[in-house]
Amino acid sequence: MAAAGSAPVPPGGAPSASQAPPRALDPIDRSIMRLLQADGRASIRSVAEQVHVSRANAYARINRLIDDGVIRGFTARVNHERAGQGASAYITLKIVQNSWRTVREKLRELPGAAHIALVSGDFDVLLLVHTPDNRTLRELVLTRLQSIPEVLSTRTLLVFEETDLLDAGPNAGPAISEE
Protein backbone atom coordinates (compact mmCIF):
# COMPACT_ATOMS: atom_id res chain seq x y z
CA MET A 1 0.00 0.00 0.00
CA ALA A 2 1.32 3.46 -0.86
CA ALA A 3 2.03 5.91 1.93
CA ALA A 4 -0.35 8.82 2.34
CA GLY A 5 0.41 11.54 -0.18
CA SER A 6 2.63 9.39 -2.38
CA ALA A 7 1.90 8.27 -5.89
CA PRO A 8 0.92 4.63 -6.29
CA VAL A 9 3.66 2.41 -7.69
CA PRO A 10 2.57 0.71 -10.90
CA PRO A 11 2.79 -3.08 -11.05
CA GLY A 12 6.30 -4.18 -11.90
CA GLY A 13 8.29 -1.11 -10.95
CA ALA A 14 8.82 2.41 -9.82
CA PRO A 15 6.57 5.24 -10.92
CA SER A 16 7.51 7.03 -14.12
CA ALA A 17 8.76 10.65 -14.05
CA SER A 18 5.26 11.88 -14.90
CA GLN A 19 3.75 9.91 -11.98
CA ALA A 20 6.46 10.50 -9.35
CA PRO A 21 6.04 13.42 -6.99
CA PRO A 22 8.24 16.37 -7.87
CA ARG A 23 11.71 16.23 -6.35
CA ALA A 24 12.88 19.26 -4.39
CA LEU A 25 15.47 21.21 -6.38
CA ASP A 26 18.40 22.79 -4.61
CA PRO A 27 20.08 26.09 -5.63
CA ILE A 28 22.63 24.24 -7.79
CA ASP A 29 19.87 22.44 -9.73
CA ARG A 30 18.10 25.77 -10.26
CA SER A 31 21.33 27.40 -11.46
CA ILE A 32 21.92 24.54 -13.89
CA MET A 33 18.37 24.94 -15.25
CA ARG A 34 18.85 28.72 -15.73
CA LEU A 35 22.17 28.17 -17.53
CA LEU A 36 20.69 25.54 -19.85
CA GLN A 37 17.63 27.69 -20.56
CA ALA A 38 19.94 30.52 -21.63
CA ASP A 39 22.23 28.19 -23.62
CA GLY A 40 21.07 24.63 -24.22
CA ARG A 41 24.36 23.97 -26.01
CA ALA A 42 26.53 24.80 -23.00
CA SER A 43 29.17 22.16 -22.33
CA ILE A 44 29.17 20.09 -19.16
CA ARG A 45 32.53 21.67 -18.28
CA SER A 46 31.12 25.18 -18.67
CA VAL A 47 28.05 24.38 -16.58
CA ALA A 48 30.18 22.74 -13.88
CA GLU A 49 32.51 25.74 -13.71
CA GLN A 50 29.66 28.24 -13.48
CA VAL A 51 27.85 26.40 -10.68
CA HIS A 52 31.10 25.41 -8.91
CA VAL A 53 30.74 21.62 -8.98
CA SER A 54 32.75 18.85 -10.62
CA ARG A 55 31.99 17.83 -14.20
CA ALA A 56 30.81 14.42 -12.93
CA ASN A 57 28.43 16.12 -10.48
CA ALA A 58 27.08 18.48 -13.18
CA TYR A 59 26.63 15.55 -15.58
CA ALA A 60 24.78 13.49 -12.94
CA ARG A 61 22.55 16.43 -11.98
CA ILE A 62 21.63 17.21 -15.59
CA ASN A 63 20.81 13.56 -16.25
CA ARG A 64 18.70 13.40 -13.07
CA LEU A 65 16.81 16.55 -14.14
CA ILE A 66 16.15 14.91 -17.52
CA ASP A 67 15.18 11.53 -16.00
CA ASP A 68 12.84 13.24 -13.51
CA GLY A 69 11.11 15.10 -16.35
CA VAL A 70 12.19 18.52 -15.06
CA ILE A 71 14.15 19.18 -18.25
CA ARG A 72 11.90 18.06 -21.10
CA GLY A 73 14.37 18.67 -23.91
CA PHE A 74 16.65 21.15 -25.60
CA THR A 75 15.57 23.49 -28.35
CA ALA A 76 16.55 26.55 -30.34
CA ARG A 77 14.99 29.94 -29.67
CA VAL A 78 13.93 31.34 -33.02
CA ASN A 79 13.76 34.93 -34.20
CA HIS A 80 10.42 34.55 -35.98
CA GLU A 81 10.78 37.67 -38.12
CA ARG A 82 14.15 36.50 -39.45
CA ALA A 83 12.59 33.07 -40.09
CA GLY A 84 9.91 34.57 -42.34
CA GLN A 85 7.15 34.59 -39.72
CA GLY A 86 6.65 38.34 -39.36
CA ALA A 87 3.13 38.23 -37.90
CA SER A 88 2.57 36.91 -34.40
CA ALA A 89 -0.60 36.92 -32.33
CA TYR A 90 -2.07 35.63 -29.13
CA ILE A 91 -5.54 34.31 -29.82
CA THR A 92 -8.05 33.75 -27.06
CA LEU A 93 -10.74 31.13 -27.56
CA LYS A 94 -13.97 30.34 -25.81
CA ILE A 95 -14.75 26.68 -26.28
CA VAL A 96 -17.57 24.24 -25.59
CA GLN A 97 -17.40 22.95 -22.02
CA ASN A 98 -15.46 19.68 -21.68
CA SER A 99 -14.01 19.90 -25.22
CA TRP A 100 -10.45 20.87 -24.20
CA ARG A 101 -8.75 17.64 -25.31
CA THR A 102 -10.46 17.66 -28.70
CA VAL A 103 -9.70 21.33 -29.28
CA ARG A 104 -6.08 20.93 -28.15
CA GLU A 105 -5.49 18.19 -30.72
CA LYS A 106 -6.98 20.32 -33.51
CA LEU A 107 -4.91 23.36 -32.46
CA ARG A 108 -1.70 21.28 -32.53
CA GLU A 109 -2.30 20.72 -36.24
CA LEU A 110 -2.44 24.43 -37.06
CA PRO A 111 0.50 25.80 -39.02
CA GLY A 112 2.42 28.29 -36.89
CA ALA A 113 0.91 27.24 -33.54
CA ALA A 114 3.66 27.78 -30.97
CA HIS A 115 1.97 27.55 -27.57
CA ILE A 116 -1.42 26.33 -26.35
CA ALA A 117 -2.70 26.81 -22.80
CA LEU A 118 -5.94 25.99 -21.01
CA VAL A 119 -6.55 29.00 -18.76
CA SER A 120 -9.07 30.47 -16.37
CA GLY A 121 -10.84 33.79 -16.75
CA ASP A 122 -12.88 35.40 -19.51
CA PHE A 123 -11.76 32.84 -22.09
CA ASP A 124 -10.73 29.18 -22.03
CA VAL A 125 -7.70 28.81 -24.28
CA LEU A 126 -4.72 31.00 -25.09
CA LEU A 127 -2.99 30.23 -28.37
CA LEU A 128 0.25 31.79 -29.67
CA VAL A 129 0.77 31.65 -33.43
CA HIS A 130 3.48 32.85 -35.81
CA THR A 131 2.60 33.34 -39.49
CA PRO A 132 4.38 34.84 -42.49
CA ASP A 133 2.05 37.85 -42.68
CA ASN A 134 -1.28 39.30 -41.58
CA ARG A 135 -3.12 37.81 -44.55
CA THR A 136 -2.06 34.31 -43.48
CA LEU A 137 -2.96 35.13 -39.87
CA ARG A 138 -6.40 36.30 -40.98
CA GLU A 139 -6.92 33.08 -42.94
CA LEU A 140 -5.83 30.99 -39.95
CA VAL A 141 -8.32 32.72 -37.64
CA LEU A 142 -11.30 33.13 -39.95
CA THR A 143 -11.03 29.82 -41.81
CA ARG A 144 -9.16 27.32 -39.69
CA LEU A 145 -9.96 28.32 -36.08
CA GLN A 146 -13.54 29.38 -36.55
CA SER A 147 -14.34 26.20 -38.46
CA ILE A 148 -13.58 24.08 -35.37
CA PRO A 149 -17.08 23.21 -34.09
CA GLU A 150 -16.05 23.36 -30.41
CA VAL A 151 -14.71 26.93 -30.76
CA LEU A 152 -17.45 29.36 -29.76
CA SER A 153 -15.53 32.61 -30.26
CA THR A 154 -12.03 34.02 -30.77
CA ARG A 155 -10.25 37.28 -30.10
CA THR A 156 -6.93 38.09 -31.77
CA LEU A 157 -4.23 40.15 -30.07
CA LEU A 158 -1.48 41.18 -32.49
CA VAL A 159 2.07 41.09 -31.14
CA PHE A 160 3.93 44.27 -32.07
CA GLU A 161 7.19 43.46 -30.28
CA GLU A 162 8.55 40.55 -28.26
CA THR A 163 11.34 40.29 -25.71
CA ASP A 164 12.75 36.84 -24.95
CA LEU A 165 13.54 36.91 -21.24
CA LEU A 166 15.85 33.93 -21.65
CA ASP A 167 18.26 35.83 -23.88
CA ALA A 168 21.59 36.34 -22.17
CA GLY A 169 21.64 40.02 -23.12
CA PRO A 170 22.56 42.40 -25.94
CA ASN A 171 26.29 41.59 -25.80
CA ALA A 172 25.93 37.82 -25.71
CA GLY A 173 27.81 35.99 -28.41
CA PRO A 174 26.71 32.94 -30.38
CA ALA A 175 26.03 29.76 -28.45
CA ILE A 176 29.05 27.54 -29.05
CA SER A 177 29.80 24.42 -27.07
CA GLU A 178 33.31 23.19 -26.52
CA GLU A 179 33.88 19.71 -25.20
pLDDT tens track for 1-44: 333 333 344 444 444 555 678 888 999 999 999 999 888 999 99
Confidence of residue 179 (pLDDT cuts 50, 70, 90): very low
State how far the alpha carbon of 157 is from the alpha carbons of 46, 119, 129, 150, in Å.
40, 16, 10, 21
pLDDT at 164: 78
Q: How far apart are CA 28 and CA 35, in angstroms?
A: 11
> How large a percentage of the chain has pLDDT more than 90?
66
pLDDT at 4: 38
CB 93 within 8 A of CB 151: yes
Enumerate long-range contacts of 13-22, CB under 8 Å, 24 or more apart.
Answer: 17/67, 17/68, 17/69, 18/69, 20/68, 22/68, 22/70
pLDDT at 3: 37
Residue 155 identity (one-letter amino acid)? R
Least confident of 12-16, 77-81, 140-144, 159-163: 12-16
Of the candidates 80, 75, 79, 69, which has an alpha carbon nearest to the alpha carbon of residue 40?
A: 75
Q: Which range scores top for mean pLDDT: 12-21, 124-133, 160-169?
A: 124-133
Q: In this model, does residue 123 exceed pLDDT 90? A: yes
